[in-house]
Chain A
Amino acid sequence: MAHQAHAYHMVDPSPWPLTGAVAALLMTSGLAIWMHFHTMTLMSLGLLLLLLTMYQWWRDIIREGTFQGHHTPPVQKGLRYGMILFITSEVFFFLGFFWAFYHSSLAPTPELGGCWPPTGITTLNPFEVPLLNTAVLLASGVTVTWAHHSIMEGQRKQAIQSLTLTILLGFYFTALQAMEYYEAPFTIADGVYGSTFFVATGFHGLHVIIGSTFLAVCLLRQAQYHFTSDHHFGFEAAAWYWHFVDVVWLFLYISIYWWGS
């Protein structure tokens, strides 16, 4: 049987990139159809296909890496580069929304009353729930680091406990933020204040949910003995993403909640 003489992974043909592209097409056109004709069928179909694609593609990666041993050190290095580049692209994504916020808030127009916060907007007290949210995310950063060290030191029970705690803190943040959204005295339709507030914090909240899901998958994998004390890149990627989400919140808190109030 011919074996490769290099340490890289030549991936077998896979249908998931195609199904992912089709899902993107159905979601975008479905969004347009929803806006004009008030039916969600196409968009829902696209969303379903997206979820199926993600599940099957990442399941295949786990099979290739953990069960078949294709993730040699050079392959792992490539995955690290990939995750770093992806997170960098997300940084730029949020930079855009921060740019929008500062553009509108540093030189408030006469229509807003020439001041920030604009006339008529009652801002949230940054030292109430938003401060609690900050503490929750910072604590989750500590617990995820605890989980990492537990894995590296071979401590299974501690790894599972600290990872579970991290996920619970993530849920707590999401629940608190959902409550804040419900109780807020302003909406997304309340001028540029509402737009910048809810789009920036809203996308952040979505990333918290994504990050919590990623960590939850890691918890399931850890419980099933996928990770070794030296090789657990899936977990590291989730932890990097989680720290990124935490840092974005800190910038949101300082800029929008505190300075902007």
Chain B
Amino acid sequence: MAARLLLRTCPLRVLQLRGGTAARPLQRAMASAGGIPTDEEQATGLERRTLQALKQGKDPYSILKPKQYTGTKTDPHIVPSIGNKRLVGCLCEEDNTAIVWFWLHEGEPQRCPECGSHYKLVHHELPH
């Protein structure tokens, strides 16, 4: 905070002379025409990574509801994971109150111990 106060009281010209830059008006290089930035221009951090990924059709942070699969051998549930295993909770039938939990490991698809639906772990990286 002291540094900020010092910057405020130090005349701009002195700073420019020290820095060797020519005096020119401050320009907002990225502001869109009306003067209010867009998310594309200004979003940062996790919000930016989230929005950029969604624009590419990807959902690395599991924001959207998982895609529906039939769960057969040829159309297994695809389970994205950043590691080599992930917990899966299978709702064997709609409205079941008992969830069947199991670890899904990478490699061959596994089947739910209760209803036999196929699950396959697919590795993905987090954006950074």
Contact yes or no, A73 B39, CB < 8 A: no
- Please report whether the interface of chain B is mostly helix, strand, loop or mixed according to DSSP: loop
Contact yes or no, A5 B44, CB < 8 A: no
Contact yes or no, B33 A231, CB < 8 A: no
Query: B61: which A residues are within 8 A, CB to CB?
Result: 5-7, 72
Contact yes or no, B36 A159, CB < 8 A: yes
A43 at the interface (CB under 8 A from B): no
| Nearest-neighbor residue (CB-CB) of A1 within chain B | B128
Contact yes or no, A231 B126, CB < 8 A: no
Give the number of residues in B that approach A within 8 Å (Cβ atoms). Answer: 27
Bound-complex Cα distance A68 to B57 (A): 24
Number of A-B contacts (CB under 8 A): 77
Contact yes or no, A68 B45, CB < 8 A: yes
Q: Which of B15-23, B46-54, B105-113, B115-123 is near enough to bind chain A?
A: B46-54
Picked from A7, A70, A229, the residue with its CB within 8 Å of the CB of B38 is A229
Contact yes or no, B82 A5, CB < 8 A: yes
Query: B63: which A residues are within 8 A, CB to CB?
Result: 7, 72-74
Cβ of B62 to closest chain A Cβ, rounded Å: 6
Binding site for A on B (CB under 8 A): 28, 31-39, 41-48, 50-51, 60-63, 82, 126, 128
Contacts A4-B46, A231-B47 aside, 9 further interface pairs with beta carbons under 8 A come to A5-B60, A7-B50, A69-B43, A155-B35, A159-B36, A225-B37, A228-B36, A229-B36, A230-B38
